[in-house]
Amino acid sequence: MPIVVEHLTYTYGQGTPFEVRALDDINLHIGDKEFLGIIGQTGSGKSTLIQHLNGLIKATEGRVLVNGIDLTDKSANLRIVRQSVGLVFQYPEHQLFEETIYKDVAFGPKNLGLPDEKVKERVHEALELVGLDANTMVDRSPFELSGGQMRRVAIAGVLAMQPQILILDEPTAGLDPRGRDEILDQLVSLHERKSMTVVLVSHSMEEIARVATRLIVMHDGKIIVQGSPREVFTDAQRLRSIGLGVPQVAELMQALQQRGYQVPPVALTVGEARQAILGLSAKGAGGR
């Protein structure tokens, strides 16, 4: 189920004095089973972009095609698209509303008109997918959970729709490091085990470097750099100039290179950097 975005432009408040061009001629192709990272400063248009991908916002100009369906077409069946493109908003726990976790996660599948048996199956599966024990949790109120758990219940609410593409807008915002790691690990395993296409929006380079296979960098409503994390982080200067910077390990590699050590220009993980540095000392001081 590929997503194709062609010459997408979106203007907020068109025709009023508050007119703002949020997206400017975006072209993007998201292939099957991709793990795409979208980075950019606050206000760079990333949240606006992803809401186009399941038809919540209609493009001012250009087209968005999901599996061949043109979302800008008036007759497009958006409910079908919204079922296959799951969208998790920022702070998704703010959308919880039911008395029990079960009912809240079941909201999506019920809207799909599934029979009770199927709904139950999906609720349990979705809760397990986000690492919550369905059997002990279903009858509890979502409002007595911790922040991290609430967020996972909310994400389960989207997963219960069984989308083929999962889009998440800053899913780790405001979580502690442990909660953040858990969510990221679950995303990676969803991507691998369920071979789901995942689109992750974030402003944390560290996070994106760890999980994404391809990156796009947004600035002022435009895509300014795209490619593999390695390619993108090579141009650290450019990223810094728009206030983003590169992950710390990549920065370390670049600092070493500047001092004349022969290391690869980019490392994405601490392990990789360690290897490179150990390689240096094996070669002795001659590495310099």
Partner 1 sequence: MSILRSVTIGQYLPGDSVIHRLDPRTKLLLSFAFIVVLFVVRGFLAYALFAVMVALVANAANVPLRMLLKGLKPLTFIIALTVILHFFTTRGGTTLLELGFLRVDSAGVLQGVFLALRLVLLVTATSLLTLTTSPIALTDGLERLLAPGQRIGIPAHELAMMMTIALRFIPTLIEEADKIMRAQLARGADFETGGLLKRARSLLPLLVPLFISAFRRADELAMAMEARAYRGGENRTRMKVLRFSSLDVWAVIVSIAAFAVAVLVGRLA
Binding site for partner 1 (CB under 8 A): 13, 16-17, 51, 54, 56, 79, 82-83, 86-87, 89, 92, 94-97, 107-108, 111-112, 143, 157-158, 161
* Closest to 196 measured CA to CA, from 35, 64, 79: 35
The DSSP secondary structure of 115-160, one letter per residue, reads -HHHHHHHHHHHHHHTT--HHHHTTS-GGGS-HHHHHHHHHHHHHT
Q: What's the closest the beta carbon of residue 156 comes to partner 1, in angstroms?
A: 11
Q: What's the closest the beta carbon of residue 268 comes to partner 1, in angstroms?
A: 31
The DSSP element (H or E) to which 227 belongs, if any, is strand 222-227
Q: What's the closest the beta carbon of residue 200 comes to partner 1, in angstroms?
A: 16
Q: What's the closest the beta carbon of residue 278 comes to partner 1, in angstroms?
A: 47
CB of 104 or CB of 207, closer to partner 1: 104
CB of 105 or CB of 184, closer to partner 1: 105
Q: What's the closest the beta carbon of residue 90 comes to partner 1, in angstroms?
A: 8
Are the beta carbons of 67 and 108 closer than 8 angstroms? Answer: no
Query: What's the one-letter identity of residue 272?
Result: E
CB of 158 or CB of 267, closer to partner 1: 158
CA torsion, ordered 81, 200, 232, 261, to nearest 10 deg: -160
CB of 89 or CB of 102, closer to partner 1: 89
* Closest to 158 measured CA to CA, from 186, 193, 192: 186
CB of 28 or CB of 106, closer to partner 1: 106
The DSSP element (H or E) to which 103 belongs, if any, is helix 101-111
CB of 8 or CB of 96, closer to partner 1: 96
Are the beta carbons of 63 and 26 closer than 8 angstroms? Answer: no
Q: What's the closest the beta carbon of residue 118 comes to partner 1, in angstroms?
A: 14
